[in-house]
Homo-oligomer: A and B are copies of this chain.
Amino acid sequence: MLSLAEENYLKSIYHLSDAGEKAVLTNELAEALNTKAASVTDMVKKLSTKEFISYEKYYGVKITGKGKSVALAVIRKHRLWETFLVQTLGFKWDEVHEVAEQLEHIKSTLLIEKIDEFLGYPQVDPHGDPIPNAQGKIKKLEKTALKNLATGSESTIVAVKDSDSNLLKYLEKIGAKPGKKLTVISKEEYDGSLQVAIESQHYFISKEVSENILVTL
């Protein structure tokens, strides 16, 4: 049975490695987990012994199949809980992430399967992120950050960053929800800001925000 800390490390490693594609460095992990590099070194040694990751000194860590399946189970729980909170209990989409960070560690297969069933097997969470199925299979969506779109291009929002409550409140206000169509009106070279149209309304969007809106290719 994995501890809360171990689960959080594996989840972070999974995310930072782009689903296991690339190696993750000690400092990245320390940053993401709000901890110190020395603590990370300790923990990755432990996770490596348990074979959830492979660790080579000074070169970072790679997640194993075993580690991936733990990470995906946690991510599945996180996203199902967020969906439940919004759909069933009427939470706003900016209120769910913190609570889901706790709920994702509840140990009960029965519980999460019942929630999944109750919700009608949703495919994505309230922020557009895909929900892995019980076998850990996840639909990887074709997406890019809004900031990568060329002027004039049309696209559809597929997901948004879910961990910044203020960002989410702002996105709500301008109607930037997954599923919404959007057109890039203009881009400012200087600061990376851009003008977009969402449902015929025009908005100025900062570079920072444009990095956290994911759109179809």
Cross-interface CB contact of A102 among B88, B95, B108, B118, cutoff 8 Å: B108
A43: interface (CB < 8 Å): no
Q: CB distance B114 to A91 under 8 Å?
A: yes
The residue on B at minimum CB distance from A110 is: B95
- Name the interface size band of chain A: 10 to 19
Q: How distant is A8 from chain B, measured CB to nearest CB, in Å?
A: 16
A99: interface (CB < 8 Å): yes
The residue on B at minimum CB distance from A103 is: B106
The residue on B at minimum CB distance from A98 is: B108
- Secondary structure call for the A interface: helix
Cross-interface CB contact of A88 among B85, B98, B108, B118, cutoff 8 Å: B118
Q: CB distance B111 to A99 under 8 Å?
A: yes
**Chain B positions within 8 Å of A91 at CB level:** 110, 114
Q: How distant is A100 from chain B, measured CB to nearest CB, in Å?
A: 10
**Residues of chain A from 58 to 95 with CB closer than 8 A to chain B in the complex:** 85, 88-91, 95
A202: interface (CB < 8 Å): no
Q: How far is the CA of A110 from the CA of B107 in the complex (A)?
A: 22
**Chain A window 100-129, contacts with chain B (Cβ cutoff 8 Å), 1 for yes, 0 for no:** 001100111011001100100000000000
Q: How far is the CA of A68 from the CA of B124 in the complex (A)?
A: 41
The residue on B at minimum CB distance from A108 is: B99
Cross-interface CB contact of A114 among B90, B98, B115, cutoff 8 Å: B90
Q: How distant is A4 from chain B, measured CB to nearest CB, in Å?
A: 10
Interface residues of A (CB under 8 A from B): 85, 88-91, 95, 98-99, 102-103, 106-108, 110-111, 114-115, 118
The 10 closest A-B pairs by CB, nearest first: A89-B114, A99-B108, A102-B106, A99-B111, A89-B118, A103-B106, A102-B107, A90-B114, A95-B110, A89-B115
